[in-house]
Structure 1
């Protein structure tokens, strides 16, 4: 860790009476876990401060944390902290720009910097791991709570695929072990993260039925908006099925293309080995090497993205044979 930046972050947090914490739109457990976990730690450490967490309501993850409904006026003279968000267009609630100062804390590649203070650690499994690291770095002052530990543990579980993904390191496991010492039901939390509504399970069956896979293990699924309406599925709920094709042994990398009500497609890319974030960056997105998001204006761009997934898988296989 850069001690100078971290000390500057701590001193800046000390200076402000009002702190408003944002995260990215369409949040996953890590976005909510890092946001909520940081808020819980700061509230316990600085009870005299006003700490808020904001963003849109998320269907299916209400059990993790709820957002605060605040007025624009509260941003005047406030410190804004944004967690787990690579670029400013993805920040949930555009009022983040109304604050006096902005701190960015993230684990995605810092390709689009924003904010007055930036701390990015791309080696971390998750932003929740980073928040836990900050707590341990500031252990002489910051106070962990059982609720904060629950949220940070949930975020780590989410972004590591329950410690399955390559981003899981020995340090990740040590952090998770430290959090498990606090009083929360980890088994219940894991079940809650894994459970899904029947309608989402039905969507998963559609994913397997419609999955295209080429000879090199490149896959794609296109989910029309009419299908989501028929199943009663919201756009945010489709995130629950993105990793499901990974259980197929012949699949190397894949894209889930979700048609939007206003047109175009939300693109979610996943991979077991070929790099896919370079593809995402070429199509209005970005993310981690093996897990990224993008946008496609139309079916022609969907086809173009799938062609690049095919090329990435073919190149990976050819390199493996050398």
Structure 2
């Protein structure tokens, strides 16, 4: 008997997708967006701190609104001069006191200019003129749009340039009256200058890491790490000056050979009073003095007690100019 042939059937074994590969692909599609999000978030954080470093060196400064003649009835001359290294050109007002070779050079604070209306400079200049002091009011270079704040590195050379200028005008006795960062700049200048006979320092501000972060945190609640490190990293890249170039530690440790009158508010939220006290403690009590106002706030000390402020500052200057220290 013939057998019936059995048709052959091709056998195709089932294909199963490799489970580990499928899981890896799924995980990859989850990780890619997360990685992108992480990179974007990190970039945003870094960019934000770069922006903070940029803005710190470029404060918004109001334009001049008046002049000594209009504001205080004081005749004046428009003047310009260079920093001691010739690196920047500065503008100012020179208010003469006839027959006097004594001059007070005002050193304005961060975010201000030669007016500093909140102090106010015009009132102090008028009082000084009555006391037969010439007065120089000038703008630091960062008031110009193409220059940035350097925390006293360039500004100390600019203050020395102002001092050199008044010497060329025949001034034989120079006194510096500094406010906020302008006071910190005065201290930096006095580390090397032999031309300053005495200083009045109101609300002394030194740009050092702790004080800088103290002020930033009042505006934006940032963690100290990594914010401070990032801002310090970007500061020299964006502004051309490293905070390590600012001799804040040297200033705090120096005994100056000239009399200094420190004035500071106990409620100063921008420049902690303990920094001014620390610097004062390194000075000779016979030459220098410290006046702490319990309710005083940053650069508002004149307004807090005008009569006493004028009395004490003028007494200090008159004693210094009479050689009574």
Same fold (TM over 0.5): no
Q: Which has the larger radius of gyration?
A: 2
Q: Which structure ranks higher in relative contact order (CA pairs < 8 Å, sequence separation ≥ 6)? A: 2
TM-score by length of structure 1 reads: 0.26
